[in-house]
Chain A
Amino acid sequence: MRVHYEGLLVTTKYANKLTPSTHSNPPFTDDMDFESFEMMGRSQWATPLVTYEEKYGLLSDILRVIRGHCGSACDEMILNSRMPSTIRMPQEMFGSDLFLVLDVAAETRRLWAEGRRFISIQEGFVRNLMEEGENELVLDWYRPPADAGDRLHQMIRGFEAIGLKTCCADEREVEAA
């Protein structure tokens, strides 16, 4: 059994206020740089709602909510690695209970096979028009405790306080294992 949550970031940190994006591409110095970025470009994109700095602030808040409500009932968390960053990751994104990795599904299989109680976190918060993502947050708590439903509702209140709208929250079978 796993507890499943899906949310969507629906607001900027400072709603109705202009905020500098702080987005900076690496400098382009030759034709190939322009061509390469054109190759990676997207025809459709979600609205960027966070700057680089705000995204780390948001992730820190999310991790704080999860740690606060899951704490001792969770051995480890895995979060999808979405770089590049133009600034250092905050302290909340380090620790022996967390690892950032590209393929969360592959790591889920590892931790499930190990018998761990863990949470997988997949975020798609978009910082610029080239990034993949829909501003979503998907969370799965594997081997949750008996009171996981109550803890999830407390987490949801925490997520809503930082701008996430809940799309789905339920319990599911673990089919991936």
Chain B
Amino acid sequence: MLTVEAVQYRSIAKFPDCARQGGRQAAAAVGEMLGVEIARATPTIAPEQISFNMCVSTIMDLLFATGWLKWPDIVEAASRFTDKPPENFTASYECAGWGFALEYAKRRFLPGSHIVITVADLNVLDFSFWRGNPNWGNSGFGIATVVFKVPEDGRFPLIARVAQSSYGMAEFCVDLRKWLETSESGLANVPFLPSGMAEIYTHFLKSECLMPNLHGQYGHCFGSDTWVSYITHAKSGRLDAGRIYTATSASLRGYWSITDLTFSDDCRFEFTA
């Protein structure tokens, strides 16, 4: 299975005002943030050791669809801060994006290499819709950067799925329950949701199998919920290196990802406010 060697989250509650000068200025700022974060997460990893380097997002799609933000501008800006800029970007799979990106990486068969995933949910133009709404409560904005080591046999368990019915979160919970029945993990993170909505977790899953729902502390951080969960777990001294954990993410639209992970003995955990 995948081993996490670094997991960090930089909270960016308010995007710099320079974004309002135009798309190029916004791209420069986004690129700098991504570049700085990737450089910080990979100080001892050479570019050629990274076989796959993808940025995923839930909320930044509209900026690209209108053409206001250009991905090549972001890569160019990121390259000024790291020699390992992200190769590409997808917002199609929303909060489950990191899992779908890993599924695509898995097809490539990359034994022994490193994978870097950045989960970027930046409210670049400060849309009020994204600050919070009844669908998921308050939002948390920022960038999670995760460095994975692929095992020498190139294999790792992973599912990245779409719901068949209109009850996506219920289907996710059932899938997670099945996963935990056969996994050695026994403990999974959950997406951060308001307490009323989060009751669905304990309806389908044993509460002792679930890490805390930290919505009250951080808000809903989209695909970064997973990584904020593990950072918080580690910082509170509860994470055991070598133990198997189940990482999950699910979008309200009905996409979800589940994988098992271990964390290296010297895994870097960082939360920057």
- A103-B64 Cα distance, complex, nearest whole Å: 11
Cβ contacts under 8 Å, B103 to chain A:
96
B67 touches A91 (CB 8 A): no
Say if the beta carbon of A84 comes within 8 Å of chain B.
yes
* CB of B251 to closest CB in A, whole Å: 9
Most chain B CB neighbours (cut-off 10 Å) among A29, A35, A42, A83: A83
- Is B228 among interface residues, defined by CB-CB distance under 8 A? no
Smallest distance from the beta carbon of A91 to chain B beta carbons, Å?
7
Q: How far is the CB of A3 from chain B (nearest CB, A)?
A: 23
A34→B63 CA distance, assembly (Å): 15
How would you classify the secondary structure of chain B's contact residues: helix, strand, loop or mixed? mixed
Which of B67, B92, B130 contacts A81 (CB under 8 A)?
B92
Does B89 lie within 8 Å of A39, measured CB to CB?
A: no
Task: Report B-chain residues with C-beta under 8 Å of the C-beta of A107.
Answer: 88
| Residues of chain B at interface, number, CB under 8 A | 37
Total chain A interface residues with beta-carbon distance under 8 A: 37
Is A99's CB under 8 angstroms from B104's CB?
yes
Q: Given known contacts A76-B107, A88-B162, A91-B162, is B66 in contact with A102 (CB within 8 Å)? A: no
Residues of B within 8 A of A (CB): 20, 22, 61-68, 71-72, 87-93, 100, 103-104, 107-108, 125-130, 161-163, 168, 253-255
Contacts A40-B63, A40-B125 known; list 17 others, CB within 8 Å: A26-B127, A32-B128, A39-B68, A39-B125, A40-B66, A81-B90, A82-B65, A83-B61, A83-B62, A83-B64, A88-B162, A88-B163, A89-B92, A96-B103, A100-B92, A103-B72, A131-B65
Chain A residues close to B by CB (< 8 Å) = 26-30, 32-33, 35-36, 39-42, 76, 81-85, 87-89, 91, 94, 96, 99-103, 106-107, 110, 114, 130-132
